[in-house]
Structure 1
Amino acid sequence: MYAAVGSYIIQAWRLLQLRVEHHPPYWMAGLVATALYLNFFTHHFIGDYRWYLAAAALGLYARAQVVFRPHRIDRRMPLSLALVLIGFFIWLAENIGTFFGLWAYPHQLGAWAAVHVTKWSAWSLLVLMGFTIVTNLKHIKATVHVPA
């Protein structure tokens, strides 16, 4: 599923002519994304620091804006809002998929039940990690000169 999120980000970037204003330093964004990634695995053994890391990410990206062009007119949105909305729609799609039996979580085996709302935050943070990877790769690509 993570590959689908990354593919979505790359396609949205291309199709909507996305650009980011007031992006935080790349090393800081990479550090927060790495900490989030590690927390997805380590929260089973040590504490779950998702909310602390989410607060750090919100502070880091507080000024960041995404500018996109759906149809000849530039639109802008706070990056944090975009991440929360994308996470919500993935969570919604997950609920639709489980409702129609495409897959089921253990708590849905007897009868369908909604996917827990905490998955929304997990998806939003996963999108942030994917966005950070794509942004850093685009930054690196812009600084590399390839002779013709």
Structure 2
Amino acid sequence: MKLQIVGWPHPILTVGISLLIYMNFFTHHYLPDLRWVLMLLLLIVFIRTFVSFEVLGKKYRMPMVLSFFLIGFFIWIAENISTFLGAWRYPDQDQAWRIVHIGKISSWFLLVVISVIIVGQLKRVKSTDQEISDKDNS
């Protein structure tokens, strides 16, 4: 698919938003839930970031935030299939199966963001280490 991310934001922004998202997963039980504010912030931080990919020889481009949402949405679909088939149940599904609350898409969305940022930052560090190693070997 020749997947490539174009226009990755500065590490301070990506790591910062990841930390805020991670903190919100815990603090929303005691403080106001900031997931919608965080999503707006994500849109601002990643507005110039795109995923480019190739399918059957044709190149496509998708906004990174849309890819975060789509991945979160499909995880939510898989979660519904899994609970329907009995892999696990949530408390409200004890008596009968019910669709997983649609609000869980936002949780999956934010978890995907953290995961992609971690991988993106690790790739950045690895490529920097490789450049340093290449210079040392020259």
Tell me whether the two structures share a fold, i.e. TM-score over 0.5.
yes
Give the Cα–Cα distance (whole angstroms) in 2 for the partners of residues 45 and 19 of structure 1: 39
Q: Which moved more, 1:63-72 or 1:94-103?
A: 63-72
The equivalent of 1:109 in structure 2 is 94
| 1:85-104 correspondence to structure 2 within 5 Å | 85-104=70-89
| 1:15-94 correspondence to structure 2 within 5 Å | 16-94=1-79
Matched residues, number: 133
Q: Which moved more, 1:20-29 or 1:110-119?
A: 20-29
Gaps of 5+ in 1: 1-15
Gaps of 5+ in 2: none
Give, as a single letter, the amino acid of the residue that structure 2 aligns with 1:115. V
TM-score, with length taken from structure 1 = 0.85
Give the Cα–Cα distance (whole angstroms) in 2 for the partners of residues 140 and 17 of structure 1: 21
**Secondary structure, aligned partner of 1:74:** strand
Give, as a single letter, the amino acid of the residue that structure 1 aligns with 2:14. A
Larger CA Rg, structure 1 vs 2: 2
Give the Cα–Cα distance (whole angstroms) in 1 for the partners of residues 68 and 113 of structure 2: 6
Q: Percent same amino acid at aligned positions?
A: 41
**Secondary structure, aligned partner of 1:69:** strand
TM-score, with length taken from structure 2 = 0.90
Give, as a single letter, the amino acid of the residue that structure 2 aligns with 1:76. R
The equivalent of 1:129 in structure 2 is 114
The equivalent of 1:119 in structure 2 is 104
How far apart are 1:75 and its partner, in Å?
Answer: 1.9
